[in-house]
Structure 1
């Protein structure tokens, strides 16, 4: 993705790969850390809101905190989307991921959760000194975990949002996720970029095309991402997600957003 004169990222990245800058080095992976340190790298705070419609969590991954809303309520999805606008440059890249109950040979399960992650609602540059405090302003990225399997209806605003070419939706294997969204819920995503190809082009390392999100997080961000099978293969169709599921879902969407943001900065 390349920054245009107005600060936006262009949509058809394949057609402009030749003008991108290339980088020959990757981020250095973190030194080997023990399991207690790995557990400290991710944490969750439950804000325990007194509502039946949704709940909010603070999911921390290393030094980043992701403001995360979990809901199956379509009106709450509309409310979350009302704050996302292409006029805010921090919203133009959207991390996208989906989860569903593992299939078996007799039954293919529909998508249970749709995760979206954008930058902070603050519309200014994020290139500010560490520790800067802006009164009344949150610099935390925002994540939505929509339990679409348990929703009463699919908001039209969600269909409009996903189909808006002003947003660039990013992820690993995102094309297949979007195909399943279309098949299961008739939700069409207009503008997608697979992070593997983007990272390979931006960093000049062809092998990155074969990386998963875990290895990309290490190569691009220098951060270790855990993907335990006890979570990845869990009951995503449950009406009540566990803390481990919420952490995993939020961090996956956030990492997709953050990798794209960092690569976009390197190629600007």
Structure 2
């Protein structure tokens, strides 16, 4: 089996390239924080966890988190157990180095916030649930139960059919010892597009430097 890779480039289209880091120790986490702080230009931080929950299944029977994705601009951090326990420290270190308190954005924020509070004793004080935000923005209540592909289509007018596939296709692979590149790509696109939806609704515009990185 091939060893774990640390750095990835995920290209959504010609103008949208994500720089992804899979962190395996505290030193790599801190290195990512240092770079992310310099790239931070907005109020939002994206967060996403895999595998995603199944509907109509009791919370105690839902799959445990196997990977957590954090997006700041077009930089994405991927954290896997056991160092997921460092997530509160990541958030705290990041927040302490900013001029204002960031807002965490994601498709499954209630579950993520609950997990951080119950297992890590960390309370996310400012969160945005992308489904709720999209429903309020459009006045379409059915978006409260919609998936990411539909919300992106409705808000951004973009299709994710070629990028995002059913959770059932990947479900068992999240427990593998080595995180496959396809899984890194899936999670990175999901966390970034959720972030873009929130920014589009709130009227933010990406600041892009000469290298095309925000």
Common fold by TM > 0.5: yes
TM range (shorter): 0.7 to 0.9
Whether 1:229 aligns to 2:167 is: yes
Query: Which of 107-116 and 238-247 deviates more?
Result: 107-116
Deviation at 1:53, TM superposition (A): 8.9
For 2:197 and 2:189, locate their aligned partners in 1 and report how far apart those are by CA, in whole Å.
Answer: 12
Query: Residues 58 and 66 of structure 1 are in contact (CA less than 8 Å); yes or no, is this contact kept in structure 2?
Result: yes
- Structure-2 residue corresponding to 1:146: 79
Using structure 1 for the length normalisation, give the TM-score.
0.61
Whether 1:58 aligns to 2:9 is: yes
- Structure-1 residue corresponding to 2:89: 157
- Structure-2 residue corresponding to 1:117: 71
Deviation at 1:153, TM superposition (A): 5.7
Whether 1:71 aligns to 2:35 is: no
Choose 1 or 2 for highest CA Rg. 1
- Structure-2 residue corresponding to 1:46: none
Deviation at 1:190, TM superposition (A): 2.0
* Secondary structure, counterpart of 1:233 in structure 2: helix
For 1:248 and 1:260, locate their aligned partners in 2 and report how far apart those are by CA, in whole Å.
Answer: 19
Unaligned stretches of 5+ residues in structure 1: 1-51, 120-140
* Secondary structure, counterpart of 1:144 in structure 2: strand
- Structure-1 residue corresponding to 2:200: 262
Whether 1:203 aligns to 2:138 is: yes
Deviation track 1:201-256 (CA, whole Å, cap 9, x = no partner) reads 33343332232212111111222222233544133232311111111110111011
* Secondary structure, counterpart of 1:95 in structure 2: strand
Deviation at 1:193, TM superposition (A): 0.6
Question: Judging changes above 3 Å, is the alpha-carbon distance between structure 1 residues 156 and 175 closer, same or farther for their aligned structure 2 residues?
Answer: closer
Using structure 2 for the length normalisation, give the TM-score.
0.75
* Secondary structure, counterpart of 1:224 in structure 2: coil
Unaligned stretches of 5+ residues in structure 2: 206-214
* Secondary structure, counterpart of 2:36 in structure 1: coil
- Structure-1 residue corresponding to 2:208: none
Q: How does 1:187-202 map to 2 (within 5 A)?
A: 187-202=122-137
For 2:92 and 2:150, locate their aligned partners in 1 and report how far apart those are by CA, in whole Å.
Answer: 32
- Structure-2 residue corresponding to 1:99: 50
Whether 1:177 aligns to 2:99 is: no
Q: Which has the higher helix share?
A: 2
Question: Judging changes above 3 Å, is the alpha-carbon distance between structure 1 residues 196 and 80 closer, same or farther for their aligned structure 2 residues?
Answer: same
For 1:170 and 1:153, locate their aligned partners in 2 and report how far apart those are by CA, in whole Å.
Answer: 20
